[in-house]
Amino acid sequence: MLLKNKVGIVTGAASGMGRAASIRLVREGAKLGLFDISEEGLAGTKAEIEAQFPDAEVICLKVDVSSEEEVKNAVEHVSGHFGKLNIAFNNAGILSGGGPIRDVDTAEWERSFRINFFGGLYCSKYEAQQMLKSGEPGSIVLNSSVGGLIGTAGGSAYSCAKAALITLAKSMACDLSADGIRTNAICPGQIDTPMYQGILTRRFGDDAEAKQRFLNLQNPQHRLGLAEEVAAVVAFLLSDEASHITGTALPIDGGHMATNAAYSV
């Protein structure tokens, strides 16, 4: 019960790392507001939580994180509903490429930044405001990527937006630490989510051996990470157990950053 009596928000909660984190945070005692653009996905996450934890206190809101007004209203609704806000996992994002720099798709860059970066910025801004009103210690985790730590072939739009999230987390730590709010970024590598399975399918089809050869090159563990493994790290960073950790960018990548493998979306 690392998060007993905590009220939190998880964005991109309809599937993947967002769904896994939502389940883990409830398991640790948190009350949650779940955000996503997919109402069907949110309903699935809520149903899975309630099946495991019948007494869970969870509300779902359809939110487009690229809309500052929607984010503001949703964050204020969660804080008002539960009476406070303590923690947030700003996970919502999209996979975006942008193409090689020589013929970059500017529209794709703008779309990537609207969702991957500005979505995290808007959420963090209004979450911090509500945390300050709560008068209790707060913690925000932004979901970046190993792609935000290194370049990606054909994926500059994604990498640059995710890199900006890392700098945002560090800047927020400088701004908010004196007020008792910690901010960190996580940098997942190849994680077994619907998004990443889509990448593997587009690249390798049904060739399981080719997929495994690729994974063998990507990290020393020779496997995909699990969304539940990411969720465990998020729960720790949001908890008071991580009270002296702020302004970090933590890879969760099976050792990918320890190798010299080229990363590509």
Place of tokens 């109402």: 39
- Per-residue model confidence (pLDDT) at position 119: 98
* Structure confidence by residue, pLDDT tens digits, 190-204: 999 988 888 889 889
Is residue 263 part of the annotated active site? The answer reads: no
Q: Return all residues near 141 (Cβ < 8 A) that are at least 6 apart.
A: 88, 89, 90, 183, 184, 185, 186, 234, 237, 238
| 4-18, 201-215, 244-258: range with lowest mean pLDDT | 201-215
Residue 85 lies inside a defined structural domain of this protein: yes
* Structure confidence by residue, pLDDT tens digits, 168-188: 999 999 999 999 999 999 999
Report the number of distinct structural domains present in the chain. Answer: 1
> Is 253 a residue whose pLDDT tops 70?
yes
- Per-residue model confidence (pLDDT) at position 124: 98
Angle between helices 16-27 and 39-52 (to 10 degrees): 30
The residue segments making up the domain with residue 168 are: 7-188+227-256
Task: Read off the tokens for 103.
Answer: 């013929």
Query: pLDDT averaged over the chain?
Result: 94
pLDDT band at 153 (very low <50, low <70, confident <90, very high): confident
Return the CA Rg of the chain: 18
Residue 205 lies inside a defined structural domain of this protein: no
Residue 204 lies inside a defined structural domain of this protein: no
Residue 220 lies inside a defined structural domain of this protein: no
Catalytic residue (choose from 122, 126, 158, 196): 158
* Structure confidence by residue, pLDDT tens digits, 34-91: 999 999 999 999 999 999 999 999 999 999 999 999 999 999 999 999 999 999 999 9
What's the angle, vertex CA 194, arms to CA 23 and CA 60, rounded to 5? 40
Task: Read off the tokens for 86.
Answer: 């303590």
Q: What CATH number did the domain enclosing 13 receive? A: 3.40.50.720
What's the angle, vertex CA 117, arms to CA 19 and CA 248, rounded to 5? 75
Residue 200 lies inside a defined structural domain of this protein: no
Residue 90 lies inside a defined structural domain of this protein: yes
pLDDT band at 262 (very low <50, low <70, confident <90, very high): low
Residue 183 lies inside a defined structural domain of this protein: yes
- Per-residue model confidence (pLDDT) at position 265: 46
- 134 contacts 86 by C-beta, under 8 angstroms: yes
Residue 214 lies inside a defined structural domain of this protein: no
pLDDT band at 96 (very low <50, low <70, confident <90, very high): confident
Averaged pLDDT for residues 7-24: 98
